[in-house]
Amino acid sequence: MSTVRVIGVDPGSATTGYGVIDSDGRRYELVEYAGIAGPKHLTFPERLLQISRTLEEVIARLNPHACAVEDTFYAVNVKSALKLGQARGAVLVAAARAGVEIFEYSALEIKSALVGYGRAEKHQVQEMVRVLLGMKDAPQPLDASDALAVAICHINTASTRARLSKKA
């Protein structure tokens, strides 16, 4: 497998995390990660615009081959679920506008791919991200750590699919 670059995104209405990783299917190399959190005085539509613009800039600058996004399945209440869905929409539009192929993974799939257990705690996922990327400290904010986990999940899934298709 040649080297691929994947941007992982963990959408959030307060903070959206992103992380970019290069991989040959066996090793991972951290490129960049951060959280996108707008000032509190911004309206929600302005925060969505900031998420979209920031991701468009990152995608244009780093040119990933794929965009892996965490699929939301749970929220505390309906209003939170709607805001989270709108943040996901801003992410999906930014990637689609850039022409990057989009892949979506549930939290269960991500945790299983990284920790081997779909009900793993957030700190377990964060620690596995730190270990796999050879980082001294766990990536912060947690949203960025989760985004890196989504990228690693995609790399593992795509690598496994590629190996299985060669055997078929």
Q: Which residue of the set 22, 70, 109, 146 is catalytic? A: 70
Give the domain range for residue 76. 4-167
Q: pLDDT > 70: what percent of the chain?
A: 93
Q: Considering its fold, how many domains does the chain have in total?
A: 1
Strands, E, within 2-41: which ranges? 4-10, 16-23, 28-36
Q: Is the pLDDT of residue 35 over 90?
A: yes
Q: Is the pLDDT of residue 73 over 70?
A: no
* Residue range 80-94, pLDDT digits in tens: 888 889 999 999 999
CATH (domain of 120): 3.30.420.10
Q: pTM for this structure? A: 0.93
| Closest C-alpha to 38, from 48, 29, 26, 47 | 47
Q: Which residue of the set 22, 109, 143, 146 is catalytic? A: 143
Q: Is the pLDDT of residue 164 over 70?
A: no
**80 to each of 75, 76, 87, 97, how far by Cα in Å?**
6, 7, 11, 26
**22 to each of 63, 73, 88, how far by Cα in Å?**
11, 28, 23
Q: How confident is the model at residue 163 (pLDDT cuts 50, 70, 90)?
A: low
- 3-class DSSP state of 101: strand
Contacts of 117 (CB under 8 A, 6+ apart): 111, 124
Ordered alpha helix ranges (H), 7-141: 44-62, 78-97, 107-115, 122-132
Q: How confident is the model at residue 31 (pLDDT cuts 50, 70, 90)?
A: very high
> For this structure, is 146 an active site residue?
no
pLDDT of residue 68: 98
pLDDT of residue 69: 98
> For this structure, is 70 an active site residue?
yes
pLDDT of residue 87: 94
Taking a C-beta distance cutoff of 8 angstroms, is the pair 150, 68 a contact? yes
Q: Which residue of the set 10, 22, 109, 146 is catalytic? A: 10
Q: How confident is the model at residue 119 (pLDDT cuts 50, 70, 90)?
A: confident
Sign, CA dihedral 74-79-82-86, equals: negative
